[in-house]
Amino acid sequence: MTEQVNLAQLVARRSSVVDLEDVCPVRSVISQVGDKWSTLLLGSLAEKPYRFGELRRLVPDISQRMLTQTLRDLQRDGYVERQVFPTKPPSVEYRLTPLGRALVDALQSLVDFALANHAAVVEARQRFDAENN
């Protein structure tokens, strides 16, 4: 049975002696999926499998090095699988795993929130900056 833990309990479990990712499952999972590239790539792969070059065109401001590293990190965590096709030259396709699909489903609420509240966040930032400059 999965232990129910709230945010306050997770904070209370912190330890300055060990790596927090080792003792905090939330930090361990969120550390990878919380960056902008992972979220964009997961969202793209939720539509359909893509080849490397297609992903690069979908996210034009990502460097080839960062795209490669992010895809490897997502593979390592089990969210994305890489399939190599025996063509000349070999072609590679990336797709979500069932775990990746579950993550995208969970992230959808955050995406919906961002879309619904972007204008309010921008307005709040502008108001804050005007009051604090």
Tens of pLDDT along 47-102? Answer: 999 999 999 999 989 999 999 999 999 999 999 999 999 989 888 999 999 999 99
**What mean pLDDT, rounded, does the chain reach?**
87
Confidence label for 29 from pLDDT (cuts 50, 70 and 90): confident
Assess contact for 22 and 13: CB atoms under 8 A.
no
User: What is the pLDDT at residue 47?
Assistant: 95
